[in-house]
Structure 1
């Protein structure tokens, strides 16, 4: 006997099912192709004018306020930067900027710069000038004392507690730069000028040595030397030209020492929030 293998017969509809799996209509091809394409990006919100950035929507002005109209390109760029995109400078970066004399690299947090400019405009309207306000309300010095200041050495005090030289005042910086919050920014104001090299506009070597001695005696007696820097702004960077001053930054100092050396001074940026 011969055994016959019966070839399986296709059941009705079986061949059609195979075709259904391997063929699609033109409309279905288009539908499948569209699934392979990335979704369209969300619509972009129109860029805000620089004076509206960091301002709540309900408070935005259609036209630029007067105190923000005549800004340098640098300040317009800062004002137009969202606070969330700003990165504060570290202590290492601050030390490098001071050591390399890159003082123009210091920046304020964008919203702080806006407040600083608005406050300065208000002071000029109310007091005539920022200088008049600083003399009368921050330093409490008669204008005559700094009109033609006599030259004298910057004698370092015997100790920080005895830093009561009537011609020198240490205050908190009213509008500090956008740096690590642990950095305390102070300003040392003097009634007398510190000699500058007319060719460079920088301090003379003798004046720099005087400031070094003052900073070492006044600040590094209570703060480690690697946590203290000082610098004097170029004339073009000064906000108050008529009164001599230089800057001191301390990294994470004892708050009691800061209160002691400044006699409990509170910067304007903190008073403005009260």
Structure 2
């Protein structure tokens, strides 16, 4: 079914809310984001578990996409967050992680549980609804090579942690993890990596996340977002 021709910022927007001029919070988005936001939700196909695993195994993290309307909401949220809360890092630390600083309790990564926190990805990619997208936040750094990839030692440490924390409960074929390239990170100052689980038990996810609810399920669009940022 053909769609109405619209400027990218009005795609997926109800007719009464469309505007003639691009909102300032969308004016400087990347070409990639512009193309995604300008795609109709009805034309977007969620990534399958096999596609997700393929992207991660080939280290083509840049191929991940959010659903068009989700990306639009995400960009608006980030704009309001920076405008009214100071920075993404400050919000993540104080409101999502509840950490006053990033000093690890132990110098050996993944040794002290207080140095790690598992939460939902607040703005997950457009994947099969059976896939749960989590983020593992750490107070300690994970060593990288010059090209931004994990060092063999750091990768081994993450693999061992993922095995203990997820694979033993969910199954090897239903767990995949990746660390964003430096150029793709939206939060640079707090170390983290991503874990995707295929059809995990809800009770297990509640347990590891402490009953967390991602921001995408708590906020809408528009100035109502400010209630969350106060």
Normalised by the length of structure 2, the TM-score is 0.92
1:111 to 54, 69, 80: 69
Deviation sequence 1:16-65 (CA, Å, 0-9, x none)? xxxxxxxxxxxxxxxxxxxxxxxxxxxx8762000000000100011101
TM-score under structure 1 length normalisation: 0.77
What is the alpha-carbon distance in structure 2 between the residues aligned to residue 240 and residue 52 of structure 1?
28
Please point out which of 90, 109, 114 is paired with 1:154: 109
- 1:270 and 2:228 correspond: no
CA contact (8 A) 2:104 2:115 kept: no
- Following the alignment from structure 1 to structure 2, what is the Cα–Cα distance between the partners of residues 54 and 261? 35
Following TM superposition, by how much is the alpha carbon of 1:149 offset from its aligned partner in structure 2, in angstroms? 6.2
Query: 1:192 deviation in Å?
Result: 1.0
Measured in 1, the distance between the counterparts of 2:14 and 2:154 equals: 47
Cα distance in 1, alignment partners of residues 212 and 30 from structure 2: 31
CA–CA separation in structure 1 for the residues paired with 2:159 and 2:19: 47
Q: Secondary structure at the residue paired with 2:25?
A: helix
Partner of 1:191: 139
2:123 is matched with which residue? 175
Which whole-Å CA distance do the structure 1 matches of 2:36 and 2:214 have between them?
22
Q: Distance in 1 between matches of 2:211 and 2:166?
A: 16
1:150 CA drift (Å): 8.6
Q: Secondary structure at the match of 1:171?
A: strand
User: How much has 1:122 moved relative to structure 2?
Assistant: 1.0
1:214 aligns with 2:156: no
Name 1:6's counterpart in structure 2.
none
2:161 counterpart SS class: helix
Find the partner of 1:93 among 47, 51, 56.
51
Q: Distance in 1 between matches of 2:3 and 2:173?
A: 46
Could you tell me which of 87, 96, 104 is aligned with 1:129? 87
Task: Indicate the SS of the match to 1:222.
Answer: helix
Structure 1: which 5+ runs fail to align?
1-43, 157-163
Distance 1:68 1:209, change over 3 A: same
Contact residue 105 and residue 114 of structure 2 kept, 8 A = no
Bigger RCO of structures 1 and 2 (CA < 8 A, at least 6 apart): 2
Structure 1 residue corresponding to 2:28, chosen from 47, 70, 86 = 70
Given that 1:150 and 1:192 are in contact with CA atoms closer than 8 Å, whether structure 2 keeps it comes out as no
- Where 1:126 maps in the other structure, the secondary structure is helix
8 Å CA contact retained: 1:151, 1:193: no
Task: Work out the number of aligned pairs and report it.
Answer: 220
Which residue pairs with 2:170 in the alignment? 223
Correspondence for 1:250 among 176, 188, 197: 197
Verify the 8 A CA contact 1:154 1:214 in the aligned structure 2. Answer: no
Q: Is the 8 A contact 2:81 2:88 kept in 1?
A: yes
RMSD: 1.8
